[in-house]
Amino acid sequence: MARRNTEIDEEKKSRSVLFLLSAVALLVTGLWAVWNDNISRRPWKIFQYEFRNLEYKRAQDAVGAESARLEADPQYEDLQKQLVAARQSLTEGETARQIADRQARLAALEKRLAVVDLDLRFVKSELEEAWYELDHAREFGQPEEPRRARIDKLEAHRVETKKQYDDLTHQKEQLESEMKELQAGVKTIEDKIADVSAERTKLEQRLEGMVVLHVGPLKMLQVPRIEQAVIEEYDRNAYNQPIARVDRCVSCHSGIDKPGFEDQANPFKTHPDRDHLLSKHPPDKFGCTPCHDGQGASVNSVAQAHGDVPFWEHPLLRGEKVQARCNKCHMDVADVDHADHIAMGQKLFENLGCTGCHLVEGLEELPKVGPYLRRIGAKVDPSWLTRWVTNPHQFRPSTKMPNFLFAPEQGTAVAAYLLQASTKESQEWLAQYPAPPGVDARNSTLVARGQQITEQIGCKGCHAFAPGEHGPRLGAGVDEAANGADTGAGLRTSKDIAPNLANIAEKTNGRWIFHWLKNPRHFSPVSRMPSLRLSDDEAAAVTSYLLTLGAPKPEPPERLAALARPETIVDGEKLVRKYGCAGCHDIPGMENESRIGVELSAFGGKSVEELFFGDRYDVPRTWDDWTLNKIRTPRVYATERIEQVMPQFDLPDEDIKELRVFLTSRNEHVVPVKYRYKPNDPAQKQIVDGERLIAKYNCSGCHQIEGKGGFIRAFYQENLSLAPPILYGEGAKVQADWLFNFLKGPVPIRPWLKLRMPTFNLSDEDTNVLVDYFTARARKDIPFVYVDTGAIAPENIAAAKQLMSPDYFNCFSCHVQGDKNPEGPPEGWAPNLAMAKHRLNPDWILQWIHDPQKLQPGTKMPSFYPGGPDDVFGGDEDRQIRAIRDYLMVLGLPEGNRAGTQVAQRPPAGR
């Protein structure tokens, strides 16, 4: 009973409140689901919605602006008036009457035509029927005659009707064409108006194209949707299978590839280098993350999409780091626009000797950047060496040699080892290269002459001579005040490419300088310093001058005595090994040392968790901060228990940031060949290799090469024609074999230059690399072709001789001709034209004579064309120029023996 009662109670209970609450909860949940799905979890929808409105508004404004422009355009207004007038003429006046007349006639005609047409059709079907009856009669043997008579009658009728029909059709066409002619005025004006307002029509169509649905006065724009680029096979999964990369960045960055949103903030902004970069890397093919990183597939939040979330390994690259992916597809970043930061980073990394300690894939085989120490004992003053090793930046802040932060006794120990280990080879060298006669630093005339020589022959293309002065520098070329991080003279500085020679006499002696100047390779087979082909007298003068820069500073006797102590030497050897000196220097006894630093091939991909911050809780936990601080103060993360040995470079932050871009670029990701920039183009490799050598030998300290470099030109601003020649299109200018021989053994070409092209003692291999570089730069496919100078027309030679004679161009007023020198002082002379046939590319000569200023702005060679004489080849200037070129190809050869002479030349581009 009791139980039953309970049930009754339950049934009687009202659940309405609960139901109401549930219904409300369900409604709320439902609304929330819609809200969440469309708005809070889909921030990109809002962005896209906003952008589409913005875009629509802009398009509307554009239409408005164009309309306003048209309204204000008197031509448009005039056309409109003409149109009104023309239309009016169709409704009233003579034209209107004629049209009405034609229309009436046309209507009548059409009525008649309809009747005739119907008649014609009837006749045709009756004919069909008659033919059938004829066939039928034949089959059943009935008489054919009456049937045939009917056919004939019908046929006659058909011909008659057809004639009427054709006649009427012709009349109708004529009337129609008359109508058209009468209305033509309007059509012409309408066409003109369409022409003038074409831009507006285009804009209006674009505007209309944005609307997907009209609901009364309301317009509905495109519903937001995910926009994505699928980059096939761009990545590899954990099983090393190629997988696609999916980028949805454009779902928010809607304006990125649309012009006209440059003034917007992100995400709507147009790509700042759209014209340059996106035209070459269309986002639908390349996506965004291949250059920018980030988490391309994510659209849930800005932080997620940009990869700024824990454990995402490739957060968005910002600032100069945006260039850190160029190298994935471009083998030669030095030759790519918009890649200056990564190119500079790589240059610094290679030239500061980082590869001496750190292995980096692709940079394994670079030569050691430091001086050759096998004969160091014959070169340096021991006192100086102890100080130098202890802190090189004290003596020369701009040196590439880093500071190992040695205690003075450690410096002494390293010096002791180096001196002891190099004793044998130093002694041998000294035995071979005795003290030179004629060096005297107190002879002021000699010193002055030495100084004059250094200023004339081009030493300043590489070296500075005064404290604080700089030659050409690696990196940004800036000095930065030390912010507690430096170890040198109170500043962190971009490093000089070649040593500053201030105080050189503190470091070394006259005997060494003299022989070094004569030929650096005799002392160091790996030196980059070239020979300037100085005579003994000149070398003695320059040595005397250099010896006036600074003076030896002996250390206290106890320190010098320590150098010879066996235990010091043993300590030194340990230090040399521990600090990896052999990474940069060739040191006796250290031939088999390996790199002491960690490999950096994939350093850019390291996550913060993999980086060791030591006790430095003040350094923000990011890769960028870790790296900046590491390069700025390399032992910053050392702790009581963990020692660090990386030396201090004292670089300015600007250079450190460039290095950081390069390091960022080092990760494990390999881009498939199909995405890479001309991966199989041999010219790419030739340019990369050539540029490396040009940097190594600092060719651009003197020459401006393809628009870059030419440091020494700063000293010749008064008269740039005395500066080293600009090498622009050199590969197109000179013959490959000549260039090869010239690089091996330079000969003076420009008698007016006091500067000397040095002899670099290049290997055949390196020389070929340089020749290939210029060939590749000039976009030449093959270096040699054969030209038969025997085939040159004799009248060309005769004409050229006339043109070049004193009464005409008087070329030999300035140009040397074989062993005949022009009048006047050598600084007024111009290159020996007898050299041209072996040196210059015949095609280049044509362009040169045509317009020398175009090929080399500022050249002393004046333009003779246009302005050739009328009495040679009837004033045909092209023929005159060709004749001069032909003559130059044989100038200096014996008259009777020209046939069959061979000249190697480069083919013109594109052949």
Which helix H or strand E contains 704, and what residues bound it? strand 704-705
Question: Three-state SS for 708?
Answer: strand
Site string (719-758) toward other proteins, x via CB under 8 A:
--x-------------------------------------
Contacts of 46 (CB under 8 A, 6+ apart): 39
Residue 807 beta carbon to other proteins: minimum distance, rounded to whole angstroms: 6
The Cα–Cα gap between 380 and 387 comes to 11
Q: Find the binder of other proteins among 392, 520, 822, 842 (CB under 8 A).
A: 822
Residue 819 beta carbon to other proteins: minimum distance, rounded to whole angstroms: 18
The Cα–Cα gap between 327 and 665 comes to 7
- Rule CB under 8 A: say whether 875 interacts with other proteins: no
Cis peptide, bond prior to residue 862, ω within 30 of zero: no
Residue 871 beta carbon to other proteins: minimum distance, rounded to whole angstroms: 9
Minimum CB distance to other proteins smaller for 437 or for 806: 806
- Rule CB under 8 A: say whether 520 interacts with other proteins: no
Q: Which amino acid is at 153?
A: K
Residue 773 beta carbon to other proteins: minimum distance, rounded to whole angstroms: 30
Question: Long-range pairs for 319-327 at CB < 8 Å and ≥24 separation?
Answer: 319/657, 320/657, 320/658, 320/661, 321/624, 321/660, 321/661, 321/664, 322/291, 322/292, 323/661, 324/604, 324/661, 324/662, 324/664, 324/665, 325/290, 325/291, 325/292, 325/293, 325/665, 326/291, 326/665, 327/665
- Rule CB under 8 A: say whether 817 interacts with other proteins: no
Q: Find the binder of other proteins among 269, 521, 595, 669 (CB under 8 A).
A: 269
The Cα–Cα gap between 730 and 906 comes to 11
Residue 721 beta carbon to other proteins: minimum distance, rounded to whole angstroms: 7
Q: Find the binder of other proteins among 794, 806, 894, 910 (CB under 8 A).
A: 806
- Quick one: angle between helices 408-421 and 423-432, nearest 10? 60
Minimum CB distance to other proteins smaller for 867 or for 894: 867
| CB contact at 8 A, 787 and 905 | yes
Q: Judged by CB under 8 A, which stretch of 430-438, 464-472, 853-861, 873-881 contacts other proteins?
A: 853-861
Minimum CB distance to other proteins smaller for 612 or for 715: 715
Q: Find the binder of other proteins among 814, 845, 889, 903 (CB under 8 A).
A: 814
Q: Which amino acid is at 696?
A: K
Q: Which residue has the tokens 């014209």?
A: 275
Instruction: Name the phi and psi angles at 240, rounded to 5.
Output: 60, 30
- Rule CB under 8 A: say whether 863 interacts with other proteins: yes
The Cα–Cα gap between 738 and 560 comes to 53
In sign, the C-alpha dihedral spanning 401, 583, 555, 378 is negative
Minimum CB distance to other proteins smaller for 58 or for 269: 269
Residue 513 beta carbon to other proteins: minimum distance, rounded to whole angstroms: 35
Q: Find the binder of other proteins among 490, 620, 818, 858 (CB under 8 A).
A: 858
Residue 724 beta carbon to other proteins: minimum distance, rounded to whole angstroms: 18
Q: Find the binder of other proteins among 490, 827, 878, 911 (CB under 8 A).
A: 827
Give the tokens for residue 721: 């024609």
Q: Find the binder of other proteins among 552, 828, 875, 893 (CB under 8 A).
A: 828
Work out the burial of residue 500: count CB atoms within 10 Å of its CB; fewer than 13 is exposed, 13-18 middle, 19 or more buried: buried
Interacting positions 243-262 with other proteins (CB under 8 A): 262
Minimum CB distance to other proteins smaller for 51 or for 864: 864
- Between the alpha carbon of residue 685 and those of residues 151, 769, 794, the distances in Å are 89, 10, 44
Q: Which of 873, 886, 806, 811 is nearest to 845 (CA)?
A: 886
Q: E strands, 374-502, where?
A: 479-481, 491-493
- Rule CB under 8 A: say whether 802 interacts with other proteins: no
Q: Find the binder of other proteins among 64, 824, 893, 909 (CB under 8 A).
A: 824
Interacting positions 566-625 with other proteins (CB under 8 A): none
Q: Find the binder of other proteins among 697, 760, 864, 887 (CB under 8 A).
A: 864
Instruction: Name the phi and psi angles at 128, rounded to 5.
Output: -55, -50
Contacts of 625 (CB under 8 A, 6+ apart): 619
Site string (753-792) toward other proteins, x via CB under 8 A:
----------------------------------------
- Rule CB under 8 A: say whether 52 interacts with other proteins: no
Residue 864 beta carbon to other proteins: minimum distance, rounded to whole angstroms: 5
- Rule CB under 8 A: say whether 296 interacts with other proteins: no
Query: Diameter of the chain by CA atoms?
Result: 152
| CB contact at 8 A, 165 and 117 | yes
- Residue 217: count other Cβ atoms within 10 Å of its Cβ: 5
Residue 812 beta carbon to other proteins: minimum distance, rounded to whole angstroms: 10
Minimum CB distance to other proteins smaller for 5 or for 719: 719
Residue 875 beta carbon to other proteins: minimum distance, rounded to whole angstroms: 12
- Rule CB under 8 A: say whether 887 interacts with other proteins: no
Minimum CB distance to other proteins smaller for 248 or for 750: 750
- Rule CB under 8 A: say whether 900 interacts with other proteins: no
- Rule CB under 8 A: say whether 859 interacts with other proteins: yes
Q: Find the binder of other proteins among 40, 142, 763, 853 (CB under 8 A).
A: 853
Q: Find the binder of other proteins among 217, 437, 557, 867 (CB under 8 A).
A: 867
The Cα–Cα gap between 388 and 404 comes to 10
- Rule CB under 8 A: say whether 869 interacts with other proteins: yes
Residues paired with residue 586 on neighbouring β-strands, in sequence order: 372
- Rule CB under 8 A: say whether 173 interacts with other proteins: no
- Rule CB under 8 A: say whether 808 interacts with other proteins: yes
Instruction: Tell me the site size for other proteins, rule CB under 8 A.
Output: 32
Q: Which residue has the tokens 């209309």?
A: 208
Residues paired with residue 219 on neighbouring β-strands, in sequence order: 214
Residue 189 beta carbon to other proteins: minimum distance, rounded to whole angstroms: 39
Minimum CB distance to other proteins smaller for 231 or for 316: 316
Q: Find the binder of other proteins among 407, 823, 896, 910 (CB under 8 A).
A: 823
- Rule CB under 8 A: say whether 273 interacts with other proteins: yes
- Rule CB under 8 A: say whether 857 interacts with other proteins: yes
Residue 199 beta carbon to other proteins: minimum distance, rounded to whole angstroms: 21
- Rule CB under 8 A: say whether 143 interacts with other proteins: no
Instruction: Name the phi and psi angles at 817, rounded to 5.
Output: -130, 100
Q: Find the binder of other proteins among 177, 444, 810, 902 (CB under 8 A).
A: 810
C-alpha triplet 214, 216, 218: angle, nearest 5°:
60
Give the tokens for residue 79: 């056309």
Residues paired with residue 903 on neighbouring β-strands, in sequence order: 787
Q: Find the binder of other proteins among 275, 284, 364, 567 (CB under 8 A).
A: 275
Residue 263 beta carbon to other proteins: minimum distance, rounded to whole angstroms: 7
Give the tokens for residue 402: 């880093």
| CB contact at 8 A, 576 and 482 | no
Q: Find the binder of other proteins among 9, 263, 643, 819 (CB under 8 A).
A: 263
- Rule CB under 8 A: say whether 301 interacts with other proteins: no
Minimum CB distance to other proteins smaller for 638 or for 749: 749
Q: Find the binder of other proteins among 9, 92, 618, 807 (CB under 8 A).
A: 807
- Which letter, b or e, does each residue of 15-48 get, where b requires 16 or more Cβ atoms within 10 Å of its Cβ? eeeeeeeeeeeeeeeeeeeeeeeeeeebbbbebb
Give the tokens for residue 897: 């023996």
Where do contacts with other proteins occur on this chain (CB under 8 A)? Answer: 262-263, 269, 272-273, 275, 721, 806-810, 813-814, 822-825, 827-828, 852-853, 857-864, 867, 869
